[in-house]
Each structure stands twice: as structure tokens, then as C-alpha cells.
Amino acid sequence: MRSLPDQRVPLRLRVAAREELTPVVVLLTLVAPDGAALPGYEAGAHVTVTAPNGRRRSYSVAEAGGPAPARYQVGVLREPGGRGGSVSLHDDVRVGDVLDVLPPRNAFPLLPARRYVLIAGGIGITPVRAMAAELRARGDADVEVLHLTRTAELAPWREELLAQGAVVHHSAERGRLDLWPWLAEPDDDARVYCCGPASLLEEVRALTAHWRPSRVHTEDFAGVSADEVGASPFTAVWEPTGARVDVPAGVSLLTALRRAGLPVDGDCEAGTCGTCRLRLVAGQAHHRDVVLDDDERAVAVMPCVSRALSEELVLAPPPR
């Protein structure tokens, strides 16, 4: 896999195709305008797309990865109650439009195992579909895919998944699926991956409490609420000027920095887009994002949802 470009510099990608997979999910195919190969990625990766209304949102890439793909495909769930990014991508994007897209990042990577149980709820099927395709191409592991939706009409790639032997379950027709048969026996040669709504993630974590934690991997692209990251106040120190900013209980770090007049970008305010990334110079952060990997968390923080475990955090703009 070749090295990735600067993650803060967007690619300018053309919408080569759009397909309505369901009444609420559109598949966008993004390519370089000159037909050049795109930065590589592995299954589980996501790209961050700037919608026509200026909102940035992160979307998993729906196809198996590669070192120099010709395209990125992303499935966008229309969320009328959200901040407007998904609605804009549904309503305002046409074939031929050019969008800003941050290069792929992967906070949900496939790790080695002999057996995989891949569980998806709703639009969580997007990274799971890519993972299943990549694992089947390798051919060295058993793969089970479970996709849970409310109805058949809301299940993207339904016929494809059924043809591949996946369990596709619709709760409105058959009630809630019992996941215990797939999770009852812990297996150190297996890994469980789950992407979907918080309720499904909580259920899978409860049902795998007897598994080794390192064998269970979850991802929630809804992000987290800045209002739920903890109530302890702390102080942020802005390294370039030495300014000290009090961060009260109930106020996000991002909000406190902005109120102090400091130049911090931000968009999703849910820990998913990566726009507000800052350099962590000193202190211990309470990380709640889905953007940074373990190594990056030692040197960076997402202030929209993260707070402090120490009394102070010393922060600086990201390197340019």
C-alpha cells in the first residue's frame, strides 16, 4: 500500500455515477477528473466528503481496497434529522459535479483471523460489504455476514448479499434477530466486526462480554454527542500564544476555544469528520472520536467531542 497524501488536503473528485440503492440510500461513484488512480485504502476505510451546502461528513468506502483504485464508492443514508450534509448530497449532487473529498483513513481495519463474523445494521453494511469482498478475495478465512434492517426496501445490496450466502434479516417482518448463535462461543481464531446504530453495537458488546476484547471491533458513524463526553472542567492552553482557556462542564472543548477567539475549524461536532483536529502537545486527552488511530491519539485530539483526563491540555494547530 503506497503512502497516503496529506490528510487535510482534499482531493477534487468528479461524481461519475449516482444510483438510488433504496428510497433513502444513494450510491455515489467518485473519480479523478483526469482519470488518474486515487490514493489507496484497505477495507474499513472512510473518506470525508464536503457536501454542496458546505457540510463535511465521513462515509465508508463500499468496495474492497487496493493500492491505486480508479474510484471510491460511498453509500449515503438520507438523514433528515441530521445537520444537512446527507440531505445535500442526496438533493444537490448530480453526475458531473466535483466535490472536495479528504483521502481515505481507516479507524476500522481488518486484523488477522481465521474466521470473521461481520454484523451490519442499516447503512453499516457499507464497510462490512467492503470487508467481506476483501476477505473473500484473499480466500484464507471463513466469512459470515449478517445484515439487519427494518424492512427489505431499506436494505442496500440485498440481492447481492443473499446470493453470497449472507443472513439478511428484516425486523418488521420477522422480529429481532437473535445474534447469540453466532456469538455464544468465544474463539481466539475469530474476530467480530460490527457497524451500525448504537443499539446494535451495545447488543453485540453485551453478547461478547465473554470474548477477549481484542477480538471484538465496533464502529458507529453517527459519532457521539459533545454534551455526553463528561462533566469535569479543565483548562486548555493554546501553545502559540500561551492563552489559557477554561472549559466548563457541559461546554465542548471546541466551543470553549472558539469563544476565546482561537482559530479552530469544525463541522460535524460528532467526532467523525476530522475537520477540527489539533496537535496535542501535553496532557492526557479523553478521546471520543472515530477518526484517530491509537498512534495518532498520542499526538492529536478532536476537540468537538474529546475532553481531558488531566487538569490541562496543551494544544496547537495541526502542522501545515
- Which segments of the chain have a pLDDT < 70? 1-8, 81-83, 221-231, 320
For position 229, what pLDDT does the model report? 47
- CA atoms within 13 A of residue 93's CA, in its CB half-sphere: 30
Residue 118 and residue 288: Cα distance in Å, rounded? 23
For position 56, what pLDDT does the model report? 85
Among 27, 44, 33, 45, residue whose Cα is nearest residue 89: 27
Residues 262 and 245: beta-carbon distance below 8 Å: yes
Residues 109 and 44: beta-carbon distance below 8 Å: yes
For position 82, what pLDDT does the model report? 64
For position 8, what pLDDT does the model report? 62
C-alpha cell at 53: 451546502
Sequence length of the chain is: 320
Residues 194 and 120: beta-carbon distance below 8 Å: yes
For position 247, what pLDDT does the model report? 94
User: How deeply is 244 buried, as exposed, middle or buried, from its count of CB atoms within 10 A (0-12, 13-18, 19+)?
Assistant: exposed
For position 308, what pLDDT does the model report? 93
- 104-147 pLDDT tens trace: 988 889 999 999 999 999 999 999 999 999 999 999 999 999 99
For position 67, what pLDDT does the model report? 95
* Residue burial 5-35, b: 16+ Cβ < 10 Å; e: rest: eebeebbebbbbebeebbebbbbbbbbbeee
Residues 113 and 190: beta-carbon distance below 8 Å: yes
**What domains lie within the chain, and their CATH numbers?**
11-105 (2.40.30.10), 115-219 (3.40.50.80), 226-316 (3.10.20.30)
C-alpha pair distances (Å), 124 with each of 111, 132, 202, 272: 18, 13, 14, 14
Residue 95 and residue 28: Cα distance in Å, rounded? 9
For position 222, what pLDDT does the model report? 58
For position 7, what pLDDT does the model report? 54
For position 83, what pLDDT does the model report? 65
